[in-house]
Structure 1
Amino acid sequence: MSSKNKNIAVTLVVLGDIGRSPRMQYHALSFAEHNYNVNIIGYGGSKPMQKLLDHPNTQIITMRDVPNISQLPKLCSYIFKTFWQTMTLLMALIFKNRSHIVMVQNPPAIPTLFATWFYCLVFRAKFIIDWHNYAHTIMALSLGRDHRLVRLATWIESYFGRKAIANFCVTRAMQRDLLERWKIKAYVLYDRPPEEFKPISLNVKHDLFMRLSKIYPEFSSDDGGTAFTKVLSEKDVVERVNRPGILVSSTSWTEDEDFGVLLSALCVYEENVENHNLPYLICVITGKGPMKEYYMERIKKLNLKNVQIITPWLESEDYPLMLASADLGVSLHLSSSDLDLPMKVVDMFGCHLPVCAYDFKCLHELVKNGENSFTFSSSNELAGQIINWFSHFPTNETQKRQNEKFKQQLTIFTSFRWQENWDLNVLPVVLQLTK
């Protein structure tokens, strides 16, 4: 940790819920660990990581939410929202200690890129963009590629991307695309799991199940243990022989994740319980988002008898424990640009949890089918993978051997964590900018 960095102020901008922006929280902690003074600006809602809240070098600045103006016409509402966010973001940037470096998350591009660039221009700060995806491809999902707002977002991303003094992105495919399309040179910073995402002991799993059983009866048992574990003595915990399987997924309930694919696969699972000696399956889906209520209504109508779907909102400290306690993960992420990677898979890999991941153009940069996990392209293919994994559970020797093979690869993956990755790829760039 360098003491000279104490005089350098870094601001991270998230035009979204800070607590649901893990990559920017990791950036903030990495800067703070190197003794930079760090502000992170964004919206409240979900609780940020406790380490971020407790760190002496970090401060969270929450912006005022956009007022409810649903009674206005759609275009007027959008213009008002953009104006409101521009002004509140600029005020948050200006009415704090001057920043030397501003790193902004993209997407969203409007009005984030213009507002942060304008601040950097006036106050002579270094303007950095961290590309998680493209704003214009996400907007095109609902508006269509030829919509004028999509064209505006494309121009804004290309123009202000070239204005940035440094750019980081999440894949090599995106790095190539930025260079070929817009002549933007970007450094690749792959997502890597922080130390919290790791395998855990059976005792820690038992403690999590006991806490969850107070809210969700699916985790409880009549003998004082849980549906998955039982206590032999004060310190002795064992897995139940006939325990349910745990399938886990995380979703933002948005249009770039077709949750119906998993629902269809679970219906096929239900139909094959007896033929393949399948266990009762508890499907834990975490996350918040606009389409959650729509899918919850669909789930109610399925009337599944051998599959129970629960949708808890887990605290940031419990989420890694849930992943480490599960038997199989599912990622439904379909990149709007085909150029980003699902962070949920990175988190699952950190816990040595094998994943069934929806396949798309650059997924191979993270998931290697049959080597460290599975990829699928249809609900039937996903159903087959889930059925094969849980057939004769938990005594299937073929599944156990494949699980061991996957975990060997995931152990190699997790030998290089977020902080080491950040120190190797981001810190040298920042040090060069602040000479």
Structure 2
Amino acid sequence: MELAVLVLFSPVLILLARVLFWRLRPQSGTVGVVVLGDVGRSPRMQYHALSFADAGFRVDLIGLSGSAPLQKLTNHSQIEVVALSDLTKWIEVKFLPKLLRYVIKTLIQLAQLLVILLFYMRRPKQFLVQNSPAIPTLFALHSVAFLCGSHVVVDWHNYSYTILQMALRPGHPLVRIARIYEQILGRFARSNLCVTRAMREDLKKNWNIEALTVYDRPPEMFKKTPLDVKHDLFVRLSKKYQCFRSQPWQNKVALQPGTRVEETVFTRKENGGIELRSDRPFLLLSSTSWTEDEDFSILLNAIEKYESFAKEGQSHLPSLLCVITGKGPQKKYYEELMSSKEFERVTFCLPWLEAEDYPLLLGSADLGVCLHKSSSGFDLPMKVVDMFGCGLPVCAIDFNCLHELVRHGVNGLVFRSAQDLSSQIQRLARDFPASHSSELDAFRANLKYFQSARWNDNWNRTVLPLFEVK
């Protein structure tokens, strides 16, 4: 009841807020970082918040509650995380028309954002807001900025209307309205950031919006994992996931009396000394939001082809442990589909990792796989940035501007089909671990240049000059 009243009277609240706030100056040295999504699953916005705080700003980070944010962020004295509850789950009623549910959801989110921004946080001199989603975020931020005399900077990760048309269809009236809305409100921003050169050119050409390309770069925590840390990680994971434990098909070593041994499927610790097992599987890793812009049937079909070749007696193909991390709407569907398959040489594991364990696993893997296909064709997968930060080569599905990150045959491979991907995995995993792929070694060597450019250096050079510290 209270929520319904809040939605109905939000225009009155805006007028009242204008009367209350028009004489009050925004607080210099304060930045509001806003993402209408799960804060813990919005790494770029978390990195923005940390960089602002390290540069001397007071930061309010506003986003939906859900996954735990980085511990470094929640412990930072200059950052306050304002977590919004997802009130829209209460309107997921099947008998309501889809359009009506969407309208109600938008109104609830708008009212919630306005109340939080106006009454429950400091009045920042500047806002940095993630787009997408644009609805209702851009309207809410521009309204509050007008009331309080603040400035808005939009960080374009993707286009909201292209994401919407995946759920509806191109040319749908809602998609056309969303595009116009996004285009108009995007022009009100004081400055714009974007994630690729292709997006910058598209914003300029089609919407007359000038944007600065700020490529994602990995923070320092994304690096190759030392052997002792790697072993400790596998031990922790083995307590939750059977596939990380020492397997029956692996070699058993005769032990001397009094010998202390701790084993995982990848490592062996004997009397304090740690080594990688010579019979360990090839660790293939992918991460995902389990959304429609990532078709995991491609990976599943590629793995089935790999399994078929391995069972035909091609002994040069090792066992695979395929780990796919993340949460999202399609996870249950693919989890059930994978569990219905019978594999002898391949094991799937779909864990959810703590934020601090994710880079450790990336730094322990042998090959990354990326199935992200941008809805607009203008954004790059941050998961590949993280993998590259750990020196992990990637096989990535091709799309419009992928070449700005993945250079085929230089730091990874690009594929277009399940057959392509299966052939690439077979080629790179051949004879593992007895002999390492020279191709993989070359990719890792070429990634050292990418690893030298970290998030803070890039951010201080490109983003910081747009903001004021006083």
TM-score (normalizing by structure 1): 0.96
Deviation at 1:391, TM superposition (A): 1.2
Superposed counterparts of 1:199-218, under 5 Å? 199-218=224-243
CA contact (8 A) 2:262 2:270 kept: no
Determine the structure 2 residue equivalent to 1:239: 276
SS in 1 for 2:351: coil
Determine the structure 1 residue equivalent to 2:267: 229
SS in 2 for 1:396: coil
Determine the structure 1 residue equivalent to 2:117: 93
CA contact (8 A) 2:317 2:430 kept: yes
Amino acid at match of 2:54: E
Determine the structure 2 residue equivalent to 1:10: 31
Aligned partners of 2:271 and 2:443: how far apart in 1? 33
148, 151, 154: which one pairs with 1:126? 151
Question: Who wins on radius of gyration, i.e. which is larger?
Answer: 2
Deviation at 1:7, TM superposition (A): 4.4
- Are 2:307 and 1:282 equivalent residues in the alignment? no
Aligned partners of 2:40 and 2:450: how far apart in 1? 25
Determine the structure 1 residue equivalent to 2:285: 248
SS in 2 for 1:314: coil
- Are 2:127 and 1:78 equivalent residues in the alignment? no
Moved more, 272-281 or 176-185: 272-281
CA contact (8 A) 1:12 1:104 kept: yes
CA contact (8 A) 1:278 1:391 kept: yes
SS in 2 for 1:357: strand
Moved over 4 A (4+): none
- Are 2:437 and 1:412 equivalent residues in the alignment? no
Determine the structure 2 residue equivalent to 1:343: 382
Amino acid at match of 1:226: T
Deviation at 1:293, TM superposition (A): 1.2
Determine the structure 1 residue equivalent to 2:255: none
Q: Per-residue CA shift, 1:277-323, capped at 9, x if unaligned?
A: 21111111001111111111211222112111111000000000000
Amino acid at match of 1:70: E
5+ long unaligned stretches in structure 1: 1-5
Calculate percent identity across the aligned residue pairs.
50
Aligned partners of 1:338 and 1:381: how far apart in 2? 21
Moved more, 147-156 or 362-371: 147-156
5+ long unaligned stretches in structure 2: 1-26, 248-260
19, 25, 40: which one pairs with 2:46? 25
SS in 1 for 2:424: helix
CA contact (8 A) 1:276 1:391 kept: no
SS in 1 for 2:343: coil
Aligned partners of 2:315 and 2:142: how far apart in 1? 58
- Are 2:91 and 1:69 equivalent residues in the alignment? yes
Aligned partners of 1:226 and 1:360: how far apart in 2? 38
Determine the structure 2 residue equivalent to 1:177: 202
- Are 2:365 and 1:356 equivalent residues in the alignment? no
- Are 2:451 and 1:426 equivalent residues in the alignment? no
Task: Provide the alpha-carbon RMSD of the alignment.
Answer: 1.4
Aligned partners of 2:361 and 2:86: how far apart in 1? 31
Q: Per-residue CA shift, 1:22-41, capped at 9, x if unaligned?
A: 00000000000011010011
TM-score (normalizing by structure 2): 0.89
Q: Per-residue CA shift, 1:211-232, capped at 9, x if unaligned?
A: 1111112111276311111113
CA contact (8 A) 1:113 1:156 kept: no
Aligned partners of 2:142 and 2:315: how far apart in 1? 58
Amino acid at match of 1:278: L
Q: Per-residue CA shift, 1:22-81, capped at 9, x if unaligned?
A: 000000000000110100111101000001001000001112322412233222211111
